[in-house]
Structure 1
Amino acid sequence: MSHFVRILKINRVFLRYRLDSFFRQQPLPWAIKILLAPLGLLPQPKASRGKRLRAALEELGPVFVKFGQLLSTRPDLIPADICEELEYLQDRVPPFSGEQFVGIVEKTLGGKIDTLFQSFEHQPLASASVAQVHAAVLPDGREVVVKVVRPGIEAVI
């Protein structure tokens, strides 16, 4: 994706979640105030600012989610309500499908999931910005956790 297209996507998400409201109370250069002025005509968002920021970061992808995770550890820098919402990015990022997970495991390990494991949980234990983990039991009865990097993450990062 070209830099220009990426910037357009970031701007679209910025507008969709009305993140301009984060900056309205701050002293801004006049040129930025002029650019943001038309946004004041749009309806006010219903969701809290923390939820809007978290949703925007999730939509923008793993690098932005990592940034949100970092911010969530800094209550000295951001308001508590935003910090609490961003904590959801630590291990509750929306998961990718169990079918995708199984496909990646089967391709990587070179076998069918039912021969590789005695049992395999299709519901993830945790899902984060870069990887997802599922519980499984090996054929010899040992309980394990299987971790897979999100599909396409290399291209994004």
Structure 2
Amino acid sequence: MNTNAYITFLLIGIVLVAVDGQIIYHSGRRYLENSYGAPEAGASMARLVAVMFHLAVLGILALLSLISFGGDESSIPSVVGKLGLLLLVLAAAHGITLAVLSRIRDEQVGENLVARKQGVTGDGRNSTVNPVSPGTADPTRPSVSPSLEHGAPYSAPGEGR
């Protein structure tokens, strides 16, 4: 492969990888933001996955540039053949990356469900509400509506009301 064909192949390959990597990053960030509660955590995971994608596919691109397709390596069919192989590899890497993002999101959604079942909120506090004693006017605690039967403050069963 002559220098012009080699550089053309590498430039086209780098542009394809960069564009696909940016699509993965931006879409993955939106996909993961909802599952993590904090948008910056989802963006961070998407960035890590996108960097892994870029490094892996650029490494494959470098290896593909060394493969000989036989015949005249500087010919258009040779460059197109290498680009076709690169596109197939890029599609496979894109699919694997989507599977990784999906698995990360599924694990985070599962962890969130378990935490909600155990009564822990996103900030680590217990989400159980403590009852309000009659006559207590603490604004940090929720108030309870009066009992329908007695027109009085809420009474627990067995308190004699």
> TM-score, normalised on structure 2?
0.22
Identify the structure with the greater helix proportion.
2
Greater relative CO (CA pairs within 8 A, separation 6+): 2
Identify the structure with the greater strand proportion.
1
Larger Rg: 2
> TM-score, normalised on structure 1?
0.22
